[in-house]
Amino acid sequence: MSEVLKVVEMFGRNVFNDGVMRDRLPKNVYRKLKKTIEDGAELDPGIADVVAHAMKDWAIERGATHYTHWFQPLTGVTAEKHDSFISAPSDGKVIMEFSGKELIKGEPDASSFPSGGLRATFEARGYTVWDCTSPAFLREDAVGVTLCIPTSFCSYNGEALDKKTPLLRSMQAVNEQALRILRLFGNTTAKRVSPSVGAEQEYFLVDREKYLQRKDLIYTGRTLFGAMPPKGQELEDHYFGAIRERIGSYMNDVNKELWKLGVPAKTQHNEVAPAQHELAPIYEGGNQAADHNQIVMETLKKVAGRHGMACLLHEKPFAGVNGSGKHNNWSLTADDGTNMMNPGDTPHENVQFLLVLACIMKAVDIHADLLRESAADVGNDHRLGANEAPPAIISVFLGEQLEDVIDQLCSRGEATHSKSGGTLKTGVDILPDLDKDATDRNRTSPFAFTGNKFEFRMVGSSDSIASSNTVLNTIVAEAFKEAADKLEKAEDFDMAVHDYIKETLSAHRRIIFNGNGYSGEWVEEAEKRGLPNIRSMVDAIPALTTEKAVRLFEEFGVFTRAELESRAEVEYENYSKAINIEARTMYDMASKSIIPAVIRYITKLAESVSAVKTACPEADVSVQTELLIETSDLLSETKVALAALADKTERAFGLETGKDQALFFHKEVFPAMAALRAPVDKLEMIVDKDLWPMPSYGDLIFEV
Ligand code: ADP
Ligand code: MG
């Protein structure tokens, strides 16, 4: 069979998808289920038994023995608890069972998942609830074949304890308000508007043997020590470079796994840093895209092991080397095919698009702090604002064409033309002339318009995309609502919408920035414009609980105040835990392997000095002596820094968990880690490579 046919057959093979449901479910059940999936109607619990039965038969035919509710608690990774299908034995025999109740509702002992105080430990009940809009799938691995059922995870009182529930709520909110906008322009056919999301995923691959020699990579996902190799990424020869065989065969395997799970993996290439790569699937509905991104991350890791490699999803595995992010491409699409972010060829005439654009600018300007917060995670603190990823300041890039239309509108009151891209001429006769895009790209912008979608580039590579999309959907729902409230009542719609667009664009123009986001001038300029520059996760978290945020999220039923407060609490805790682990890992590595190695080296030097002196008293031993002094000095610097780190970590640990502790970790422990790293990295450059207790940056990133 040809490869091509194999791909077509392979795609979605392990998914209980529409085709399988149509084949296996009675017509009326199938129709009811589709109504929920497509129109958002409430699920009829009466059909659960039939669906569960069909799902079980299908799964068992494919070798499944277990099922699990698959959910995304606030730990940052997915969670699952496997149950086998077997019934209680009767006459020593079992049968395979799976009821509608088991499909719809799970009851994991939730006490050990983070809840930020929403659930006292004595009322540890949590429920997982079937999300039929994200299809169940079969996972094949060492455990066997498992039926995975995507679920929401809530507390006994229905408070969200996960990332999916708020995302689904936000999709409901934006659907309702976006439909109002479409109706304003006479669209009566669209029944539903959903976010379309494509998440480009960056990652690093390192050799597994070497990975296992680095405690920092194992425990924290990033290197906590490490001097730069003589060659870094300055040549930029890795970006889009030819894919080497070992990596190619890995990507091939990853794609096959993903295709089987119905993830439309599409694009793959080498990234800027050596050993860094990217995978992008074709965009899908927001909920599915968020689930699929989790599957992508799991698969990247799992398949790496099979190829003798480790996949690093951390935002900054190597200091001084480009970090990894996730570009969240986002647009709103109606079920009649309308992409609300498509400007068409003449955006100046496309009033609906201009209104949508104005609303998005307003939303992003007003809620820049929330958007920034949605991308905050511990690893991302190393990226945002560090001259390689977008700056920590939120701004919008629109490009020349739209900027010009806005200029016309704001200065002259009306827009009369749109700049076009023109033709690309290469100067080579045999190459065809191409129509150019109306706008060049801007790689430095955190929120860039890219033709028919926005690309939010702040999300960290290891983070779920759910939070960012939840915020995007909700803030835009709010802006749509405010526009619709006003315009639905207008007597002269054309005039009213024109004025509304103009006023909104003028009021929020400060959020547009088309220049170089990495430059120092932008930081100053942004400050003048009053745009927030939130530099770290702990500084970002308070955005969740401002009165503005509570009002927004409560109005659209996305989060209650209690849920927001609990989330902030969980994030502070997650921050403290992560830095604590990093600090302790550093302590461990420095005291148990680095310092002993340096001492061995110093001893060798000292022995050499005295041996040479004994053999030949006139010989010049100044080089060895200087090295001996330099190394000894750095060693004592290390020892001092190590003691300081231990002291700070202990003090942090003594604080009550929550904001104050997180701030202490950020302001005291984190700098103490940097102070320990500095002399150690210098020592790495001096000490005999054979004595250095772990693979170097060079070994890790150039020899995969
Ligand atoms: P880039 O050149 O930005 O790296 P890629 O092809 O790597 O582009 O990724 C672009 C992503 O955007 C893909 O996941 C793609 O499917 C997605 N995308 C394309 N059109 C839309 C759209 N209208 N809405 C949301 N995502 C989209
Ligand atoms: Mg890309």
512 touches 446 (CB < 8 A): no
| Residue 480 CB coordination number (10 Å) | 29
* Distance from residue 396's CA to the centre of ligand 2 (Å): 19
Ligand 1 atom closest to Cα of residue 339? 23
Q: Same domain for 315 and 392?
A: yes
Residue 565: inside a domain, yes or no?
A: no
pLDDT at 591 over 90: yes
What is the DSSP-derived secondary structure letter of residue 668?
Answer: I
540 touches 373 (CB < 8 A): yes
Of 559, 587, 618, which one is at a domain's C-terminal end?
Answer: 559
Q: Same domain for 285 and 141?
A: no
Residue 422: inside a domain, yes or no?
A: no
Q: At what angle do helices 622-654 and 670-686 cross, to 10 degrees?
A: 160
Q: Same domain for 616 and 513?
A: no
Average pLDDT of the residues in 436-457: 84
Residue 134: inside a domain, yes or no?
A: yes
For 154-183, the pLDDT digits (tens) are 988 889 999 999 999 999 999 999 999 999
For 86-138, the pLDDT digits (tens) are 988 899 898 999 999 999 999 877 677 788 777 654 566 789 999 999 999 99
Residue 23: beta bridge partners? Answer: none
* Distance from residue 330's CA to the centre of ligand 1 (Å): 8
- pLDDT score for 272: 74
Q: Which of 203, 270, 283, 356 to mutate to test the pocket of ligand 1 (most atoms within 8 A of CB)?
A: 283
Q: Same domain for 27 and 111?
A: yes
d(CA 561, CA 672): 35
d(CA 605, CA 50): 77
pLDDT at 653 over 80: yes
- pLDDT score for 225: 98
- pLDDT score for 121: 47
d(CA 434, CA 448): 23
167 vs 37 pLDDT, higher one: 167
d(CA 392, CA 380): 10
Q: Give the global pTM.
A: 0.95
Residue 566: inside a domain, yes or no?
A: no
> What's 620's domain CATH number?
1.20.120.1560
- Closest residue by CA, ligand 1 atom 7: 280
Average pLDDT, the chain: 92
d(CA 18, CA 288): 14
What's the structural domain count of the chain? 3
Q: Same domain for 615 and 466?
A: no
d(CA 179, CA 381): 37
Q: Same domain for 14 and 117?
A: yes
683 touches 226 (CB < 8 A): no
- Closest residue by CA, ligand 1 atom 1: 200
Domain that holds residue 583: 575-702
Q: Same domain for 259 and 325?
A: yes
* Distance from residue 447's CA to the centre of ligand 2 (Å): 15
| Residue 691 CB coordination number (10 Å) | 13
- Which run of H or of E encompasses 182? helix 164-184
Burial 259-288 (b: 16+ CB within 10 A, else e): bbbbbbbeebebbbbbbbbbbbbebbbbbb
As for ligand 1, residues whose beta carbon falls within 6 Å of it are: 196-198, 200, 267, 280-283, 329-331, 339, 452-453
Q: Same domain for 526 and 593?
A: no
Return the SS3 of 311. Answer: strand
Total count of residues recorded for the chain: 704
Ligand nearest to the CA of 457: 1
Ligand nearest to the CA of 453: 1
Using alpha carbons, select from 285, 294, 268, 366 the residue that is nearest to residue 77.
Answer: 294
Residue 79: inside a domain, yes or no?
A: yes
Tokens 């039939």, residue? 50
Residue 423: inside a domain, yes or no?
A: no
d(CA 290, CA 463): 10
Report helix, strand and coil shares of the chain as percent, to nearest 5.
Answer: 50, 15, 35
- pLDDT score for 157: 83
234 vs 378 pLDDT, higher one: 378
Residue 424: inside a domain, yes or no?
A: no
* Distance from residue 247's CA to the centre of ligand 2 (Å): 18
> Between vectors from CA 384 to CA 561 and to CA 290, what angle results, nearest 5°?
55
Q: Which of 258, 453, 465, 472 to mutate to test the pocket of ligand 1 (most atoms within 8 A of CB)?
A: 453
| DSSP string across 21-69 | HHHHS-HHHHHHHHHHHHH-PPP-GGGHHHHHHHHHHHHHHTTEEEEEE
Average pLDDT of the residues in 197-208: 96
Ligand nearest to the CA of 280: 1
Return the SS3 of 122. Answer: helix
Q: Same domain for 546 and 484?
A: yes
- pLDDT score for 618: 93
